[in-house]
Structure 1
C-alpha cells in the first residue's frame, strides 16, 4: 500500500470558456460564471456522493465580495445546507482553493467542489476617499507588500526577472507564438470541448490566435519598461472565466469506482515580493519533494503563463525544458482570469491525464506579493 493511497482524489474538472475582458462574457458576473460549472459538476455526481457534498470553495480576486462561492452555490441550485467559502491568494486563488479542499477532505470525508472565478469585465470600481476636499481617487490595485517594500506591478517585475535570467526578447516571442499555436491546434481538434461548460452561445475561448509568429510579435513595442522585452504579445490577457474540480476523500473515491487524479502533494511558498513571478520555483520544488518525484517523472506540466519571460525564467531556474510546459497551450493563448487561473491548470491536467493510467501531472502558479502554489497529481482508478 502506498503512502499516498489515502490522499484525496479529483474525480471531475470543468471550466467555462475563457473570455477576453469586455468581449464574449462581459455581461456575466463572477457568480454567473461560476454557477453553471458548479451545477454541471453537481449534476454529474452519483446520488450518494451528492448527498455528501460538504462545501464549495472558490478563489476570487476582484469580485463584488459577499462570499461569491456561497452566492454561486445557491445560484447553481445546490441545497441551502451546502456552505460556500471564498478565498483570496490573488492569482493563486483558484489553486489555493483546491489545496484547501484537499486539506478539508483529509480531516473529514465527503465531497468538495473547489476552484476559482474572475469577471474582470464586471469587477466593481473602488475609490480612495477624497483628501482635503478633492475628488475621490480611483483605487487601481491592492498593495502586494507593505510600505517600505518594493512592490512593482506584475509587468515591470516580469521585465526585471527576464533581464536577470538572460531571457531575450526573441525567446519570449517564440514561446508566446508556440503557446498560441498549441492552443489553436487543440481547439481545432476539439481538445477543449469535454472540459468546457458552454455559457449560452459561447462555447470556445476568445483569445487563441492562429498564424501568430515570432516575427509578427517582434513588431510590438515594450509594454512596461522603455528598454524592456515584455510586450502585449508575450503577456497574458485580462480575462473572464471560472474553473472548478470535484474533490473527494480516498474512501469515497474507492466506493465510486471512477477514474481520477490522486493529489500526491501540494505546496505554497514565498519569494521576494519584488520578483513575484519566481514563486513557481520554490513551490514546484517543495511539492515534488513531498511527492518523492523529480521533474523527469512528470508527464504533463502546467505553469500559469502570465508572461513568457517569467515562465522562461522559472524554467531556467528549475533546469526545465520550456517545450514541456503547457503542451496544449497556456494562459498566453487562453487567457488569465486571475482568481480562476490556478483552477484552470487543474482542469487542464485532468483533461490531459485522462488517457494516461499512472501518469503524473504538475500544476504551479506565481502570485503577486511573492508567492507560489503547486500541486502534484497522479492518474488513478
Structure 2
C-alpha cells in the first residue's frame, strides 16, 4: 500500500564493521566512521556525488564530536561544499529517524536524492568537568562520565536503562533462564550468519591502526562471542538488581560503528541507472512510559500496521533492536511475534549497539536479508531511551 504519491526507495545500503568498546576502532572519531560508510554507499549505489541533494545523519553521543557531524561526514566523503547536511539526535532512534526524514523530504518534493544514516564512536565518549567552566577556588571536583550522563541514565525517570529492562521482567514475568536462552540463540544466529558470509555484502571494510604505525583493514564485527552456552551465561552476575536478570551477556554491547544508505525516488533511481534494494512503504513513531522504554516498538508497530492495513502475518522479517533480551521478549509477548522471523541473523546482543548508527544498521541488515530470502515485506524497529519507539516498513521491488 503506497501512502504517498511517489515510490521512494533505498539503494546501496552499507555499514562499517562494528567495533568493540576500546577495540580496533577506538582511535577513529564518529566522523571517520561515517565517512567510511558514506563512501561505501556511494560505491555500492552508483549514485554520483553531485546528485546527492542532502545528507542526514544520526548521532547519539555528541559530546566532543564537534559541530554537526553530518556535515563533517558529507564534506570529507567528497560530496562537496554545496551539499547541505544536518545531524539528528533521537538517541537510539537517531539514524532510523534520519532515514524517515530523508523519505519525508523526497515525498514533499524538497529533494530527489538524500544520503541518510548514522554514526557513533562510543569509545570516544568523553569524561566531563561540568562545573569547571567558571573555575575552582577550593575543594574537590567531580568528573562526570559522558556515557553515563548522556546515555545510560534516563533524565525522565532517573533510572538506568538496565533498570527499565528489569521492570519489563517484572511486568511480563520473564525469567533469567528465558533471557539467557534468547541471548544464547542470538549469538548462535550471528555466528551462523558470519560463517555463511551473510554480512559480507553489507559491510564496508575500514582502515584501522595496527602495530608500529602500520594500518590494516578491519572487515568483520568485533563484538560477537562464539560458543556462548547457558552455562557460561549463568556465571555472569546481574548488574542492576541483586536477584535480577540483566547482565553483560544478555544486553546489547557498547560499540563503535556507522551505517548509511541512499534514499531516492524510484524515478530518479531509474534515471541514474541505480538498482534499488527496497521500497519504503510507511513509518510510525510512538511514546511510552520512560520507565519501561523497551516496550516502545510495540505501539510503533501497531500504529504502522494500522496505517498500512496489514497484520504481522503479512510481514516476512522483523529487525527489532536488542537493547536487552528482556526487552525483546517483552515485545515478543505483547505482539505474539514469531521468533523464526525475528532477528534471523542475530542482533545487538551479539553485534553491539552503536547508538546513533543502530537504526540505520537494522535497516541495512534487513534489506540485505530480504533480498537474500526474496522476502516481500520487512519491519525495522527499535526502542528509544526516554520512552519511545520507531518502526519502518519496507517492501521488496
Structure 1 length normalisation: TM-score?
0.94
Structure 1, unpaired ranges of 5+: none
Pick the aligned partner of 1:158 from 147, 161, 165: 165
Cα distance in 2 for residues equivalent to 1:3 and 1:334: 33
**1:141 and 2:141 correspond:** no
Q: 3-state SS of the aligned residue for 1:315?
A: helix
Pick the aligned partner of 1:350 from 351, 360, 367: 367
Match of 1:61 in 2: 60
Q: How does 1:243-262 map to 2 (within 5 A)?
A: 243-255=259-271, 256=273, 258-262=275-279
Query: Bigger CA drift: 122-131 or 316-325?
Result: 122-131
Pick the aligned partner of 2:129 from 113, 127, 130: 127
Displacement, 1:293?
A: 1.4
CA contact (8 A) 1:280 1:314 kept: yes
CA contact (8 A) 2:316 2:375 kept: no
Displacement, 1:294?
A: 1.3
Pick the aligned partner of 2:248 from 227, 232, 248: 232
Match of 1:337 in 2: 354
1:5–1:240 CA distance, 2 compared to 1 (3 A): same
User: 1:99-155: CA deviations, max 9, x gaps?
Assistant: 111111111241111111100111232232158844144153138766xx5231111
Query: Bigger CA drift: 126-135 or 353-362?
Result: 126-135
Pick the aligned partner of 2:310 from 280, 285, 293: 293
Displacement, 1:46?
A: 4.2
Match of 1:74 in 2: 75
Displacement, 1:254?
A: 3.9
**1:103 and 2:95 correspond:** no
Instruction: Count residues with an aligned counterpart.
Output: 377
CA contact (8 A) 2:166 2:245 kept: yes
Cα distance in 2 for residues equivalent to 1:102 and 1:176: 33
Displacement, 1:90?
A: 0.4
Cα distance in 2 for residues equivalent to 1:276 and 1:65: 29
Match of 1:215 in 2: 231
Q: How does 1:19-38 map to 2 (within 5 A)?
A: 19-38=19-38
Q: 3-state SS of the aligned residue for 1:32?
A: helix
Q: 3-state SS of the aligned residue for 1:193?
A: coil
The structure 1 segments of at least 4 consecutive aligned residues displaced by more than 6 Å after TM superposition are none
Cα distance in 2 for residues equivalent to 1:138 and 1:45: 42
Q: 3-state SS of the aligned residue for 1:247?
A: strand
Query: Bigger CA drift: 318-327 or 330-339?
Result: 318-327
User: 1:309-364: CA deviations, max 9, x gaps?
Assistant: 01000111112133431001111100000111111100011110114556100010
Q: 3-state SS of the aligned residue for 1:174?
A: helix
CA contact (8 A) 2:56 2:117 kept: yes
- What is the CA RMSD across the aligned residues, in angstroms? 2.0
Displacement, 1:5?
A: 6.6
User: 1:281-314: CA deviations, max 9, x gaps?
Assistant: 1111111222221111111110000100010001
Structure 2, unpaired ranges of 5+: 208-216
Cα distance in 2 for residues equivalent to 1:2 and 1:331: 31
CA contact (8 A) 1:5 1:250 kept: no
Structure 2 length normalisation: TM-score?
0.90
CA contact (8 A) 2:154 2:161 kept: no
Cα distance in 1 for residues equivalent to 2:192 and 2:241: 33
